Every structure is written in C-alpha cells, then in structure tokens.
Structure 1
Amino acid sequence: MGAYTTIAPVVSKIFCSSSQAVLMVRRRPPTVNGGGFVVTDQDQRAVFSVDGCGIIGASGQLIVRDGDGNAILFIHKKGGIVQALSVSNWWRGYLTDYGEPSKLVFSLQDPKPVLCMKGDVQVTLEPKGRNRHWDYEVTGSFVQRSCAIKNRAGHVAAQIGVKGMLAGRDFYQVVVQPGYDQAFVVGVIAILDNIHGESTRC
C-alpha cells in the first residue's frame, strides 16, 4: 500500500482519509428516488447516497449526497447533436452550491460501443493541464463488480468487488485507498451504474 501521501481532493478534503476506507454499496429499487444507491461504512452508517441511477434516471442527471442528505455533486450527461455524433459519451461532475451546480471538477469519457469494441472509461480532472488527456481510468468489469479506478501512474485509487455471501450486483464493496476523495469515487461509480443500467453493451 505504501505510506500515506497527500492527494489533492476533487470534491473536498473532508472526504479524504489518512487510512483505507471500506465502503458497502447497496442499490435501491428504481422506484425510490429514481433508483441509485446508498453507501455505508464499516459501522453500517450511511456516508453517501446517489439519486437518479438506473433506467428511471436514464435522462443522465445524478445527484451525490453526503451522509446528512446534502447534495455535494451534480452529474450530468452531455447531450446535443455534437454529442450524438461523438464516438464517446461525456459526463460532467459539478460541485453544488445551495443545491445548484456550480464548479466543474471532472469529466468522464465513456466510449460508445462501435463494432462491439470497447474502450477504457477515462476521467479528466478540471482544470485540464497541458498535454494531459486523462487523470484516472476504470479497468476491469463494472458489470461483474470487478474493476479498479487507477490514476495515471497506475496506482489503484479504489477497488470495486464482491465479498460475503450476500454480495452481488446490488450489494458490493468499494475499497478506497488512503488520501483519495471518497465522494469523487462514489461519483464515478454512480456514472458507471447509470451507464450499465440504461444501455446494453456488446
């Protein structure tokens, strides 16, 4: 794992921990707040929730909330004719101010299935640096709940997997490494959940 190092937060430093965080994700029925899921810690306390995932939330608008129910991230799927002609779907994550989207903090690129070929999901932090096309990528299979969010250096920021007898597609574990922004990780997972809930992959 290595020693803890300071990593710039994406959402807020209050969501970064100096120790490894083990989170459990439980999907909600699609009739509750448009689907989504609740994230709990090892003490079974709700630390995040996401509204708008799944088929009912297919409009591409997601809200990440903290444990108190406050909106902390607004995530929007880019639309329009330019997006329709693009080879990738683009999602954008904004900090919220009084419940409204304010500052853009990350963009996620999800390549559309073309001739059944799949590309990596990549995330770019804002503001973009020169000669920097992405900062994080998702490797593995989210559908099988076996994937990782890695930074450009190849270090794992978070690992998504199943553990325990009750684990599966609707109940799975996320291990976030020290220093990484847990709210950002949940935001990326919310997009992955929506992508695979609303579309059929090759």
Structure 2
Amino acid sequence: MKGGLIVDDGFIYEEEKLLTVLKTSLFFANDGFTVYDCKGELVFRVESYGPDTRDQGEIVLMDAHGRCLLTVRRKRPSLHQRWEGYIGEGTDGNRPIFSVRRSSIIGRCSVTVEVYGKPGAEYQIEGSFANRSCTIFNAEKESMAEIRRKVDASTNVLLGKDVFSLCLKPGFDGAFAMGLVLILDQITGDDAVDGHPTTED
C-alpha cells in the first residue's frame, strides 16, 4: 500500500521527485497544464481544457509525446462533487480505477480518494488547493505528494498561483498524482463559478 495506485509505472520514481506545474489558462486559447521536471523536460500535458471541457466534465492527461495516460470524468448526477479516473483515453466501456469525492466544507480542500478493487486503499487530500497548499496522504497517514507555491530560485520571490510545485514521494505514481491535481482544479473552479470563496484569506 506504500506506493498505492499505479496508472503508469513509467512515472514512479525511486527518489523524491519535484515537478513544476504550469497552468496556461491565462495565456493561451487552448488552456490547460504543462508539467516539467527539474531539468526543464516536459513530463505531462493537458490541452484544450476550458469551458467546453467543463461542460463535458471530462479531461485527458497525456505524457510528453501525446500518449493518453488517464481520463478523469465528473460523475453526474451526484449530490457531492464526485469524479472518477479511467486508464487511457475516454471512458466508454471502461471501468473506473478510482473515485474522488469532496467534503461539504466550502473553501477548503478536504477530499477522499477511493481506489476500486483494493479494499482499504484510500487517500485523503488535506489543505487548500486554491492556495496551492495541500498534501495527499495514504491510509496510513503518510504523505505521498505535496502541492506547494513555487519560489523563484534566483530572486527568492513567490510566483503566482498558475505556477506551482508537485512533490512526489518515492514510489508514488506521478500520473495518478497529476490526475488528482486536475480534479482539484475543477473542484476549486466550481467553487468560484458557484460564488463560493476559493481562498482562505
């Protein structure tokens, strides 16, 4: 259970891995995410992620070469905000491998992740994604990944919220972690659309 769910074993690292996540929605028509490692190499990307995608409630995570790794889809109807993750592209005929359900606490990211087919395999995401400050814990309350604001190394200046760090602990699948980031971003965006606060000032 230490490492947990595996979407793609090519994104499991033996040592702690720090990724930089860039949300491109403010700069390009095809908004989305690009994710880089510490050497500046592209690791993941998500394209055409905007109002049309929100209506569809479905987002695809790709690797640097455009290969579809994971599809996350909003489950409707749902009393609570609930999302499911599927291996590869699309959800038709596929069985979900995990689900994500938020609590009713507005403005805070209190989220439960259930892994299908693995009794007791569960994660909790605690903190505030809106503030880019939250941690993914496994069932043993061990930190598996952290989302943090990024500081410019040369100037020591805190960067905007559209650039943040995703720190992966050894053995934790980066593709799974990035799928959770996409869902957290959607949940936080829905708060803003619904008129709820997304920060904790």
Deviation at residue 168 of structure 1 after TM alignment = 2.3
Query: Does the residue aligned with 1:57 lie in a helix, a strand or coil?
Result: helix
The correspondence of residues 135-154 of structure 1 with structure 2, limited to 5 A, is: 135-154=122-141
CA 1:110–1:8: 2 relative to 1, 3 Å: closer
Aligned to 1:63: 60
Please give the root-mean-square deviation of Cα atoms over the aligned residues, in Å. Answer: 2.3
Q: Which one has the bigger strand percentage?
A: 1
Alpha-carbon distance between aligned partners in 1 of 2:13 and 2:29, rounded to the nearest angstrom: 30
Deviation at residue 23 of structure 1 after TM alignment = 0.1
- Does the aligned pair in 1 maintain the 2:111–2:126 contact within 8 Å? yes
Alpha-carbon distance between aligned partners in 1 of 2:108 and 2:18, rounded to the nearest angstrom: 29
Query: Does the residue aligned with 2:66 lie in a helix, a strand or coil?
Result: coil
Aligned to 1:156: 143
- Does the aligned pair in 1 maintain the 2:150–2:163 contact within 8 Å? no
Q: Do structure 1's residue 124 and structure 2's residue 111 form an aligned pair?
A: no
Aligned to 1:190: 182
Q: State which of 162, 165, 171 in structure 2 corresponds to 1:170.
A: 162
Alpha-carbon distance between aligned partners in 1 of 2:145 and 2:4, rounded to the nearest angstrom: 15
Aligned to 1:42: 38
Structure 1 runs (4+) greater than 4 angstroms displaced: 52-56, 116-119
CA 1:23–1:189: 2 relative to 1, 3 Å: same
For structure 2, list consecutive stretches of 5 or more residues without a partner in the other structure: 152-156
How many positions carry a matched residue from both structures? 185
Letter in 1 for 2:39: D
Query: Does the residue aligned with 1:199 lie in a helix, a strand or coil?
Result: helix
Structure 1, 157-166 or 171-180: larger mean CA deviation: 157-166
- Does the aligned pair in 1 maintain the 2:131–2:161 contact within 8 Å? yes
Give TM-score scaled by structure 1 length. Answer: 0.82
CA 1:137–1:178: 2 relative to 1, 3 Å: same
CA 1:54–1:143: 2 relative to 1, 3 Å: farther
CA 1:119–1:45: 2 relative to 1, 3 Å: closer
CA 1:8–1:155: 2 relative to 1, 3 Å: closer
Alpha-carbon distance between aligned partners in 1 of 2:41 and 2:108, rounded to the nearest angstrom: 36
- Does the aligned pair in 2 maintain the 1:64–1:187 contact within 8 Å? yes
Q: CA offsets per residue over residues 119-153 of structure 1, 9 Å max, x none?
A: 72010111142xx4x61111111111111111111
Deviation at residue 14 of structure 1 after TM alignment = 1.4
Structure 1, 16-25 or 102-111: larger mean CA deviation: 102-111
Q: Do structure 1's residue 27 and structure 2's residue 31 form an aligned pair?
A: no
Deviation at residue 69 of structure 1 after TM alignment = 1.2
Q: CA offsets per residue over residues 150-194 of structure 1, 9 Å max, x none?
A: 111111111111132262210011110000000000000011111
Alpha-carbon distance between aligned partners in 1 of 2:184 and 2:49, rounded to the nearest angstrom: 9
- Does the aligned pair in 2 maintain the 1:145–1:162 contact within 8 Å? yes
Deviation at residue 110 of structure 1 after TM alignment = 1.6
Identity %: 28
For structure 1, list consecutive stretches of 5 or more residues without a partner in the other structure: none
Give TM-score scaled by structure 2 length. Answer: 0.82
